[in-house]
Amino acid sequence: MNVLQTQIGLLNLESPLLTGSGTFGHDPAALAFLKGGDLGALVLKTVTPDPREGNPNPRMCEWTGGVMNSIGLENKGLSYWRDHVAPKLAATPVPVVANAGGHDLDEYGVMTAAFDAMEGVAAIELNLSCPNVKGGTHFSTDPEALQSVVRLCREQTTKPMWVKLSPNVASITPLAQAAEAAGADGLVVCNTVLGLLVDWKTRKPRLGNGYGGMSGPAVRPVAMRMVWECFRATQLPIIASGGASSADDVLDFVVAGATAVQVGTASFRRPDAISRIAEELRTVLAENDFTLDSLRGSLKWPSPVSCSGAASRTS
């Protein structure tokens, strides 16, 4: 029996561990770092209809809490992807999740329809939440705007469609509920946390774009809170994203309500991080006689839960 077997809606995965978009190459080549059975799905970097150059250098830097990036959704655009990446996907040994970006409603619709038509794409992740591009946060901060884009994309595909939410909001609950009402099949919680690193010697920001998105261990408590809030507020499967680098981190997310966990920044430190975590997970689950299903959402809150506006999950 495979103790890591995971079901996200209709998608059957061999493991709850997924790559984080933009952190594991632009095509399936990076899979060579991982052992078979360890990765549940390969989530690829955001693609937009037109090519994007991204932000000025430097675009990544390390700090004590993890990494800051301001890549700015650099990508070669949809037609390049269709010609050069999509043909490789059907032979990929794990399900591939394509990640869609756009400037406006139409662009998200175009990307979703295009991914829907590609045989090798098992599911679609809508990146509504990039903090590093101009106008990149409109759909992730306004529930009505989010609902209209998710509804439009829903009309373009019957494939599983996940909505990647932003942590850069006062309350994630209305956004999670808007995604659910518009027909999302899952929530990815969450993208990077908007930040600023300064170098006092040069008097300049450390990133060429000024602001950047924080990822890695420092964002884990933020993502953990939001996973719990989304779990309480909706019936959707939650895919956690933010600072996971060990089996304990993954199980913490599961207890807070996650069905699966994306591993991003940890793969920069060690490209085989996902295989190491999978191995640890199998050991911990076997030693404790737990299943992922029995742990999911089992967080014991110290006092009556007060997630404002959140209805309790019934199942």
Ligand X SMILES: Cc1cc2nc3c(=O)[nH]c(=O)nc-3n(C[C@H](O)[C@H](O)[C@H](O)COP(=O)(O)O)c2cc1C
| Active site annotation includes 130 | yes
**How long, in residues, is the chain?**
315
Instruction: State which of positions 271-300 bind ligand X (CB under 6 A).
Output: none
CB of 154 to ligand X, least distance (A): 19
Residues 178-207 as x/- pattern, contact with ligand X by CB under 6 A = -------------xx---------------
Return the residue of 55, 69, 173, 234 that touches ligand X, per CB under 6 A: 69
20 counts as binding ligand X under rule CB under 6 A: yes
114 counts as binding ligand X under rule CB under 6 A: no
Catalytic residue among 130, 153, 190, 230: 130
Nearer to ligand X, 11 or 188 (CB): 188
Span interacting with ligand X, options 65-73, 90-98, 277-285, 295-303, rule CB under 6 A: 65-73
Query: Residue with the closest Cβ to ligand X?
Result: 22
Span interacting with ligand X, options 63-71, 155-163, 269-277, 291-299, rule CB under 6 A: 63-71
Span interacting with ligand X, options 26-34, 112-120, 168-176, 211-219, rule CB under 6 A: 211-219
215 counts as binding ligand X under rule CB under 6 A: yes
48 counts as binding ligand X under rule CB under 6 A: no
CB of 306 to ligand X, least distance (A): 26
242 counts as binding ligand X under rule CB under 6 A: yes
What is the 3-state secondary structure of the chain?
CCCCCEEECCEEECCCEEECCCCCCCCHHHHHHCCCCCCCEEEEEEECCCCECCCCCCCEEEECCEEEECCCCCECCHHHHHHHHHHHHCCCCCCEEEEECCCCHHHHHHHHHHHHCCCCEEEEEEECCCCCCCCCCHHHHCHHHHHHHHHHHHHHCCCCEEEEECCCCCCCHHHHHHHHHCCCCEEEECCCEEECCEECCCCEECCCCCCEEEECHHHHHHHHHHHHHHHHHCCCCEEEECCCCCHHHHHHHHHCCEEEEEECHHHHHCCCHHHHHHHHHHHHHHHHCCCHHHHCCCCCCCCCCCCCCCCCCCC
- Name the residues that contact ligand X, by CB under 6 A: 20-23, 45-46, 60, 67, 69, 71, 73, 99, 127, 164, 191-192, 215-216, 219, 241-244, 263-265
**What are the catalytic residues?**
130
